[in-house]
């Protein structure tokens, strides 16, 4: 019976991960227990340990998914329909875009940062994300300091989420244009 129900729910692992992120966004990492996630995902508790032997395995997998999802717009901005647009404007639009749930993303990002300061494997996940972001920035903007641009655009996004009236699209644009030379 167990293997039959597993076959009839092929997306269970992905659903557990997505639900884990929802629970973390609502309750924090401390509130993301096997039981709370199991109930929210409508998955038997035993399936939780089948897919994720430990709670940390589950939380880490969820944050791997989160970083991948959050990174996708930066990674694809060099190949999408706006690839010929001024790369500075693509960065501006990524900072000010509201296509995702910005508040949820900021909460998850804050939770991930706290874990990264406390546990090395989360810190390494953050470093991988930062390296990947810097590589994408370097592809788009050769000759600029990718670490600085990455830090500035992330800081602008964070500040904008807390004080949108002070970090308008125009402020973001002026800031990034001042740091990044116009394309040749």
Closest of 60, 72, 59 to residue 31, by C-alpha:
59
Q: For residue 7, what are the CA distances in angstroms to 31, 42, 54, 69?
A: 30, 16, 22, 26
Token reading at 56 = 């940390």
Considering the chain, tell me which residue range(s) the CATH 1.10.10 domain(s) occupy: 1-53
CATH no. of 54-184: 1.10.357.10
The answer to whether 17 and 61 have CB atoms below 8 angstroms apart is yes
CA geometry: angle at 169 spanning 167 and 171, to 5°?
Answer: 55
Calpha distance 134→49 (Å, rounded): 36
Kindly calculate the radius of gyration of the chain based on its CA atoms and give it in whole angstroms.
Answer: 19
Range 1-53 classified under CATH 1.10.150: no
Calpha distance 14→25 (Å, rounded): 17
Calpha distance 158→143 (Å, rounded): 25
Per-residue pLDDT of the chain (184 residues; tens, 9 = 90+): 444 444 467 899 999 999 999 999 999 999 999 999 999 999 999 889 999 999 999 999 999 999 998 876 666 655 555 556 888 898 898 888 865 678 898 899 999 999 999 999 999 999 999 999 899 889 888 889 999 999 999 999 889 888 989 999 999 999 999 999 988 7
Backbone angles phi, psi at 164, to 5 degrees: -60, -30
Please report the pLDDT score of residue 21 as a whole number: 98
Please report the pLDDT score of residue 24 as a whole number: 98
Is the Cα dihedral 178, 172, 183, 180 positive or negative?
A: positive
Considering the chain, tell me which residue range(s) the CATH 1.10.357.10 domain(s) occupy: 54-184
Token reading at 15 = 């659903």
């Amino acid at each position: 019976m167990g293997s039959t129900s597993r076959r009839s729910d092929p997306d269970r692992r992905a659903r557990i991960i997505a639900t884990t992120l929802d629970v973390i966004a609502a309750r924090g990492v401390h509130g993301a227990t096997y039981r709370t996630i199991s109930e929210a995902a409508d998955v038997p508790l035993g399936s939780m340990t089948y897919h994720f032997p430990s709670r940390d395995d589950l939380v880490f997998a969820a944050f791997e998914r989160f970083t991948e999802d959050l990174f996708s717009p930066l990674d694809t901005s060099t190949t999408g329909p706006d690839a010929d647009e001024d790369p500075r404007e693509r960065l501006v639009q990524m900072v000010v875009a509201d296509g995702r749930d910005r508040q949820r993303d900021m909460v998850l990002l804050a939770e991930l940062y706290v874990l990264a300061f406390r546990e090395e494997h989360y810190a390494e996940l953050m470093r991988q994300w930062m390296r990947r972001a810097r590589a994408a920035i370097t592809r788009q903007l050769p000759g600029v300091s990718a670490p600085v641009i990455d830090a500035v655009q992330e800081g602008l996004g964070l500040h904008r989420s807390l004080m949108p009236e002070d970090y308008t699209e125009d402020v973001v644009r002026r800031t990034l244009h001042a740091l990044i030379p116009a394309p040749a």
